[in-house]
């Protein structure tokens, strides 16, 4: 969604925040085929091409039993506190919940 907004919209910056169970999406050991869904390689490639900043909620990551070493390698991936997420949302011009 973020890559699409950057491609067709008049946006300079788009950030994605993963909270709750969404943190599993960035687990490098995730096997989409085992879940009977399409591989995420195209989504990851779009993130890289769009240079999208991705934030993961630190507490959600811990609750999932994951840490930074369990995540995909992505330069713009940041693990942040709920306070930082609140700050990002307050500073955003618009936000979408998905």
Output the six-digit token pair for 92.
């955003």
Whole-angstrom Cα distance, residue 41 to residue 2? Answer: 16
Query: Closest Cα partner for 52 from 93, 12, 8?
Result: 12
Output the six-digit token pair for 53.
């900043």
CA 70 to chain centre: 14
Confidence of residue 2 (pLDDT cuts 50, 70, 90): low
Number of neighbours of residue 5 by Cβ within 10 angstroms: 15
Whole-angstrom Cα distance, residue 54 to residue 40? Answer: 15
Q: Which residue has the higher pLDDT, 70 or 13?
A: 70
**2-91: CATH number:** 3.40.1260.10
Number of neighbours of residue 55 by Cβ within 10 angstroms: 19
What's the pLDDT score for residue 62? 96
Taking only the tens place, the pLDDT of each residue in 5-63 is 555 555 667 888 999 999 998 999 988 788 788 877 777 888 888 788 999 999 999 99
Output the six-digit token pair for 5.
């907004």
What's the pLDDT score for residue 41? 79
Widest distance between CA atoms in the chain: 38
């Amino acid at each position: 969604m973020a890559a699409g907004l950057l491609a067709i919209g008049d946006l300079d910056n788009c950030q994605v925040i993963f909270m709750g169970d969404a943190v599993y999406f960035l687990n490098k050991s995730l096997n989409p085929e085992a879940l009977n869904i399409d591989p995420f390689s195209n989504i990851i490639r779009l993130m890289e091409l769009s240079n999208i900043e991705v934030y993961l909620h630190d507490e959600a990551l811990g609750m999932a039993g994951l840490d930074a070493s369990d995540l995909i390698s992505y330069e713009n991936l940041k693990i942040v506190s709920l306070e930082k997420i609140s700050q990002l949302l307050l500073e955003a011009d618009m936000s979408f919940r998905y």
